[in-house]
Each structure stands twice: as C-alpha cells, then as structure tokens.
Amino acid sequence: MGYLFFQPQNAHRVEVEGRHLLFHVPTTSLFEIDRLDSDVIDLFEDRSRVSETDIRSRFEGRVAPELVTERIRSLLDLDIVTDGGPPRAERPPIHIENFPLTTIVLNVNTGCNLSCTYCYKEDLDTPSKSRRMAFETARRSIELLLAESPDRDSYNVVFFGGEPLSNLPLIREVVAFAEERFGNLGKKVDFSLTTNATMLNEATIDWLNAHRFGLTVSMDGPKALHDRNRKTVGGKGTYDVVASKTKMLLERYTSRPVGGRVTLTRGVTAVYDIWDHLKNEIGFHEVGFSPVTSGPVTPFNLSGDELAAVFEDMKRLGRHYRDAALEGRNIGFSNMHQLMSDLYEGRSKALPCGAGLGMLAVDHEGGLNLCHRFTGSDMDTFGTVEGGIEKKKLARFIEDRADRTDKGCSTCRIRNICAGGCYHESYAHFSDPMKPTYHYCDLMRDWVDFGIGVYGELIAGAPAYFSDHIMPRRAFGK
C-alpha cells in the first residue's frame, strides 16, 4: 500500500475517568475506544503520513495484523484517515432557494419601561417615545409564515420588544387572530414571550396561562447584582418588583415551565451563585446565561479575564449538573442542557441557528430582520412583510456565512456545534456578521470539551437521564 494520512480536524479524543472517547467531529458522534484504537491513532498523530512499514514496526509481534487492519479501516470509513485523496466534504455546499419558516418574531414595541444599562437594542425607546407595531403588520407577518411554509403542522409566534407586555392589546389581538387562522387550517400555533416581569398582574398571567405561552423572564440574580444594571428609566433598581411579580407568576402559571434568562456583564459574573438564587430561591424551572462580550455599551462588556472566569464558573455549575444527573435529577442549567441535547441528538450544524432560514424577526415597521437582536440596527433587512422576503439577498448572506473556506472554522473541532457563532455577536464585535466569533473560540472549545466529558459520564452512568429529561425538554421547544 501507499501512504495513509491523518485528518486531525475530524477527530478529538477525550478521557473520562479512565475511559477513552473519540469525538467524531463531522457527525458530532461520540465513540468509546479501546487501547488498540488509541495506539493506532497515536501512530497517525506521531507521523501524520504512515506507511505499511510504519504500521508493522509499531504493532508486529504484539497485535494480530488483521486487528490493526480492522481498526485502520474504521478510521478510513470515518475519514479520520485517508489514502491521500482529498477529505470527503462533510456536506454539500449550501444552496438556498426556499425559506422554510417555522417562527416569526414580532417586535411589538420599541419602548421599554426599564433602562437597563447594557441593553444592545439599537431601536430601544423610552415609553413616551415608543413605536408600536400595528395589527396589520402582525397579520401580514403571520400570512408570510404560512405562505413560505404551507405544509407544516405547527408554527411559532414570538413576541419581543422593548418590553412586549407594554403592547398587550396587540398581543391579545394577534393571539385571537392566529388561533382562529391556524385552527381553521387544522394547524397548531405556539406563542412565546420574553418579559422583564414588571408589568405582570394576575389577570395577564391567567390569560397567558390560558393560551399556553412559553415564558422567559429576564433577571440577573440576587438584588445586589440585578439592581446593578436592570433599572427603571428613573434609575431605580428593579429587583424587588421583579422578584415579587416573578414569584406570583410561578405560583399561578401551570401550563408550561418558566425559565430565567441572565445577562452576564462586567461585575455580574457569579454564575453558580446567580443560578442558586434564581433556581432555588425564586423558583425558575431553568436558568440560562448569556455573556456580553461585545456591544455598543463597552463599559459593560466582559473583559478577557472576566469571560474566562465566567466559563470556569459555568464548568463548576456544570459539574453540579453532572452529579445531579447521575442521580436522575435535572437542576435546570439551560446552557448545559442545550449542549447535552446537541450531543445526544448528534446535531451537525452548518449554521449557528435558524435565523434567516427557519426564523425571521419583524420590526415595528414590517421590515424582515435576521433575528430580534437586529431590529433597528444598521444591518440590512431582507424584505418586508408586505413585499415578501428578498430571497436572493438573504440566500447569498446565509450561503456566504456557511462557507468555511479560508476561515478557522474549517479545521476547528467544534465547528459543527458552534458553526461560527452568533451572527449578532459577530456584528457587535467586528461590525461584520459574516465573521465567526473568533474572540472566544478557545473558551468555547474548552466548554464543549468539558461537555463531551460530562456527556460520556452520563451515557455510561445514567443513560435514562436523556429519555427522562433531555427529550421531554424538546417537547417544550427548548
């Protein structure tokens, strides 16, 4: 035979409590390997280009040749080793003609009754200057959803702002219209909403409950941390009212689990303590964390050292998640739960999310944006609800972003989990949504490596956790 060549970009080894695991990067699959597998991979890592003489020299006299051949053949099948030809493409180049929308995000009001110091929204207004979406714009948005994906059985309508509950009359009108419109077609519609909780009352909670909204509350932890940034327009901290209203919500709301969303900024980095307060004292079902590393309000962006500390604390909480999961318990750490879902389902992503493809966000004027984070920004829109999607323009954007040629992503071991990272994060950091989120690649690789290790432990020690906790979570659209 000629030479065989190692493809390190397609394989990553992880050791978990003495067990050796191989992460197959193209498929995001995890395999347990034995000592012989490891020795064969060691040979290829040592030499990169391996001949038959190299193989005999390494294994002759201690391993049967047919066993070594079998293991090498497996590596060839996985494209971890090649015979010198070009590596197989993980997937054909993305070519988009249709936009199978499942979700439409309605930015129902640019106004917000809070003035959070770190807010990224470029179209945010005070309540007195708020610009509200008209019902006709919302109606056209729903018709666009149906027109682009007429054959689906279920759809999602998301309400966003500003503070969406500041335009509750429109939300009520849209829900009534959507339930009748989709119901007459024999289809399901699901509603969700992210709120700062300050405008909740018993009647609103009961109405949201009756229509089975998926609810997320923005809350940044205990009083001292929450009040640091989440203030009223007049500059007063909002913890007391948010905590009170959230507890009322959690006591009355029965249709679906309610989650908390935390924004981590400079000085607000104590992941474990924040989770403990929101989960065990406030009572959220799940708590998710969103670090701010880029944005127009630079004093609130996490520094490199702070971001590293955040990821270390996320791993601390991740170890608690693992220990509880081994006992069959879910502690409600959304970031870890999502990573376990990705690994369990073997997702190999060409794109970081469904923005622009399965989801579009509609601003108050009817413009079509990649996602809710871009409404009101300088980023190009991609059509209107009246004129439809500018399909060629949007297709070109998505296809170009998915192209990994000449990008570090092409050989990165987490490329099919991260897929280049959040469009808006790139836009905020580089003023260019086409660039991958290079500024925290190393931390993300370390986080995914940590998750792979936890996943390996759970598959071995608590396989029922995935059927008991991961898959039911998917049923709620998490």
Q: Which domain holds residue 55?
A: 4-82
* Distant-in-sequence contacts of 442-446, Cβ < 8 A, 24+ apart: 443/307, 443/308, 443/311, 444/414, 444/418, 445/412, 445/413, 445/414, 446/311
Lowest mean pLDDT of 1-15, 20-34, 381-395, 460-474, name the range. Answer: 460-474
Same domain? 120 vs 265: yes
CATH of the domain at 298: 3.20.20.70
pLDDT of residue 148: 96
Mean pLDDT of 370-399: 95
Domain membership of residue 175 (yes or no) is yes
Is there a domain that residue 62 lies in? yes
Angle, alpha carbons 319-320-326 (nearest 5°): 90
pLDDT above 90: residue 117: no
407 is a domain residue = no
Tell me whether residue 448 is in a domain. no
Domain boundary among 318, 336, 365: 365
Structure tokens at 94: 């993305």
Q: Which of the listed residues 365, 386, 413 is the one where a domain comes to its end?
A: 365
Asked if 248 and 340 sit in the same domain, the reply is yes
Q: Specify the number of domains making up the chain.
A: 2
Residue 214 lies in a domain: yes
- For residues 208 and 346, state if they share a domain: yes
Q: Which two tokens stand for residue 6?
A: 């190692």
| One domain, residues 168 and 238 | yes
Pick the closest to residue 245 from 271, 226, 273, 270 (CA basis).
Answer: 226
In a shared domain, residues 11 and 111: no
Residue 133: what pLDDT? 96
| Structure tokens given for 322 | 């693992």
Whether 77 and 110 share a structural domain:
no
Mean pLDDT across the chain, nearest whole number?
A: 93
Looking up tokens 């170890």, which residue turns up? 319
Does the residue 57 lie in any domain? yes
Task: Tell me which of 343, 365, 387 is where a domain ends.
Answer: 365
pLDDT of 474 reads 52
pLDDT of residue 476: 46
Would the pLDDT of 276 be above 60?
yes
- Tell me: pLDDT of 140 over 70: yes
User: Is the domain of 218 the same as that of 345?
Assistant: yes
Indicate if 33 and 178 belong to the same structural domain: no
Looking at the DSSP assignment, which residues form a beta bridge with residue 4? Answer: 50
Residue 183 has a pLDDT of 97
Residues 292/302, Cβ–Cβ less than 8 Å: yes
Share of the chain above pLDDT 90, in %: 80
13 and 114 inside one domain: no
Domain contains 92: no
Q: Are residues 149 and 203 in the same domain?
A: yes
Is 473 a residue whose pLDDT tops 60?
no
φ/ψ of residue 241, rounded to 5: -70, -40
Percentage of the chain beyond pLDDT 70 is: 97
Using N-to-C axis directions, what is the helix angle for 52-59 and 35-47, rounded to 10°? 130
| 115 and 11, same domain (yes or no) | no
Pick the closest to residue 450 from 276, 271, 313 (CA basis): 313
- What is the arithmetic mean of pLDDT over 296-302? 71
Residue 448 · residue 30 · CB < 8 Å: no
Do both 168 and 133 map to the same domain?
Answer: yes
Let me know if residue 378 belongs to a domain: no
> What kind and span of H or E run contains 217?
strand 214-218
